[in-house]
Amino acid sequence: MSDQTMAGRTVLVTGASDGIGAETARVLASRGATVHVTGRSAEKLRPVAEAVGTEPLVADFARLDDVRRLAAQVGERVETLDLLMNNAGGTFKPSRTTHDGHEPNFQINHLAPFLLTNLLRPRLAAADGALVVNTSSIGNLMGKVVLDDLDYEHRRAIEFPAYGTGKLMNILFTRGIAQRWADEGIVSVAVHPGPVGSSFGRDSWFVGLLYRSPLKRFGTISVPDGAAPLIALAERGPDPELNGRYYSRFHADGRENRQASDQSLIDGLWQRSAELVELG
């Protein structure tokens, strides 16, 4: 019989169609949580939703209206949300702009989860302490946030640095939540799960060279190993010691871009993101 460390807690996992999102959802459900799952592929999401015992929530983060609809659906299902795992993301070809006209690494890795988290804020605040876990990456070291050019309209977007910038934004957003919502009992943490051998990078030729070749077994870790840090943070819950920190797997204060602690970027990114998604 499995332990019930998550009993009584309500969870939403994004990017749960496969990989570490699906694994995290299954494990948390096995430990007693009520787990809701969302992803862009209905076909891949359905068996995960069946495994955790809830109906699938299909949403494409390349469409902000999908994110708004998702938040409304979650709001109809639950009165409180104890844990939000912002796990959806990946690397994307910058020239393939989103439905909303944004550079895809920016929208899918940052802007969509920013919008979702803000829309779910009332459900998080209604819980007796809530935790937001943002899946970041060591790739944040390659990122560079330019507040006046978030969509690369005035500079060339290169795929992996653009991905790294999105992952850097995950850390900045984590710190923005920590500074703004702590009084509501909402704690936020960012985490690099490790180089996971899943379908991450499926839209990227560059990443695919590693992740879909025989090199995969030398350069990556298993999906359960990648999910383990997310699960460990989930089980800690809204521990104030986590608030605003970036974990490299199980270790606090991992290597991060020097921009990650720049207060003007923490505030500026929040403000510009709110304007772009038209938050009141």
Decide if 4 is inside a domain: no
Number of domains in the chain: 1
Decide if 29 is inside a domain: yes
Task: Tell me the percentage of the chain whose pLDDT exceeds 70.
Answer: 91
pLDDT score for 196: 78
Which tens digit of pLDDT belongs to each residue from 127-170? 999 999 999 999 999 999 999 999 999 999 999 999 999 999 99
Question: What b/e string do you get for 33-58 counting C-beta neighbours within 10 Å, with b at 16 or more?
Answer: bbbbbbbbeeebbbebbeebebebbb
Measured distance CA(207)–CA(224) in Å, rounded: 20
pLDDT score for 221: 87
Provide the pLDDT confidence category of residue 213 given band limits of 50, 70 and 90. Answer: very low
Decide if 172 is inside a domain: yes
Decide if 166 is inside a domain: yes
Contact 10, 128 (CB under 8 A): no
Measured distance CA(37)–CA(114) in Å, rounded: 17
Output the pTM of the full model. 0.93
pLDDT score for 100: 98
> Phi and psi at residue 23, in whole multiples of 5°?
-65, -45
pLDDT score for 219: 58
Q: Distances from the Cα of 233 to the Cαs of 16, 169, 187, 248, 275, in angstroms?
A: 17, 20, 11, 12, 31
CATH number at 253 reads: 3.40.50.720
Which tens digit of pLDDT belongs to each residue from 39-73? 999 999 999 999 999 999 999 999 999 999 999 99
Give, rounded to a whole angstrom, the gap between the first and last alpha carbons of the chain: 47
Decide if 2 is inside a domain: no
Provide the mean pLDDT of the chain: 93
User: Where is pLDDT greater, at 215 or 9?
Assistant: 9
Mean pLDDT of 202-206: 48
Decide if 180 is inside a domain: yes
> Is residue 216's pLDDT more than 70?
no
> Is residue 25's pLDDT more than 60?
yes
pLDDT score for 131: 98
Which tens digit of pLDDT belongs to each residue from 104-130? 999 999 999 999 999 999 999 999 999
Decide if 5 is inside a domain: no
5 Cβ neighbours under 8 A, 6+ residues apart: 31, 32, 235
pLDDT score for 209: 45
Q: Residues with catalytic annotation?
A: 163
Q: Which domain holds residue 269?
A: 10-276
Decide if 1 is inside a domain: no
> Is residue 212's pLDDT more than 80?
no
pLDDT score for 211: 47
Lowest mean pLDDT among 2-6, 33-37, 204-208: 204-208
pLDDT score for 155: 96
Nearest to 219 by CA among 256, 241, 194, 185: 194
pLDDT score for 220: 77
> Is residue 238's pLDDT more than 90?
yes
pLDDT score for 218: 46
> Phi and psi at residue 202, in whole multiples of 5°?
-65, -20
Provide the pLDDT confidence category of residue 249 given band limits of 50, 70 and 90. Answer: very high
